[in-house]
Amino acid sequence: MADLSILNNSQRVFIDSFIKSGHLVTSAREAWPDCDRVTQQNMAWKVLQFPEIKKEVLAAIAVQKSRLFWVKDQLLMSLVDDAFFDIGEAYNQHGKLLPISEMPLSVRQRIVSVRDTQYGQSIEFVNRQKAKDQLLSILGIGQETQGLSITINLGEQAKEVEQGSSRDLEIKL
């Protein structure tokens, strides 16, 4: 940890804000609100010239970026799971809906709401089409790409695709 005792209060505010946001101008504005923009940026630049401070800020930002990529990957994998989960796993071999406690975890995770009705429980699952549309939107693929085939490498968390053991998921539009 860098020795922050060499910094005044405004400089510490700048460093803390810059590490959290990664945005120099906003952090400088927060640290020196009474100064003009050029002065704010000059003061921020001077603080970042301390070798120990610069090293610590870069290390903290690298850790935050790696966390952000992990979260992004987890959200994308969740969206893929929502878009392609098998609703058939919620039913037994006779076509009756399984009790929630007996449903596989992958199906239980896709439950949006459960309501008691006069006919029994009403279970609402994620909207698979909406999840597919969101996934295609994130990937930058729109309606105009009918017939396009895409392969997404799912890495270690891949599920078996049909009978193969490929670690890729193929989406056909």
| Per-residue confidence in pLDDT tens, the chain, 173 aa | 555 667 788 888 888 888 887 788 888 899 899 989 899 888 888 888 888 888 878 888 788 778 778 878 888 888 888 888 888 999 999 999 899 999 999 899 999 999 988 888 889 999 988 888 888 888 777 554 445 455 555 554 444 333 344 444 454 44
Q: Tell me how far apart the alpha carbons of residues 110 and 112 are, in angstroms, rounded to a whole number.
A: 6
Domain residues of the chain, as ranges?
A: 4-71, 86-125
pLDDT of residue 93: 92
CB 165 within 8 A of CB 154: no
Given this model, what pLDDT does residue 153 score? 52
HEC secondary structure over 114-161 = EEEECCEEEEEECCHHHHHHHHHHHCCCCHHHCCCEEEEECHHHCCCC
- Predicted confidence at residue 56, as pLDDT, reads 79
DSSP at 87: G
Closest CA to 88 of 122, 121, 119, 125: 125
What is the spatial distance between Cα 7 and Cα 54, in angstroms, rounded to a whole number? Answer: 13
CA torsion 53-55-58-63 (nearest 10°) is -110
Q: What's the rounded Cα separation, in Å, for the pair 147 and 6?
A: 62
Give the separation between CA 168 and CA 173, rounded to whole angstroms.
16
Burial of 15 (0-12, 13-18, 19+ CB in 10 A): buried
- The overall longest dimension of the chain from CA atoms, in Å, is 74
Q: What confidence score (pLDDT) does residue 34 get?
A: 92
Instruction: Give this prediction's pTM.
Output: 0.45
Per-residue confidence (pLDDT) for residue 91, from 0 to 100: 92
CB 81 within 8 A of CB 74: no
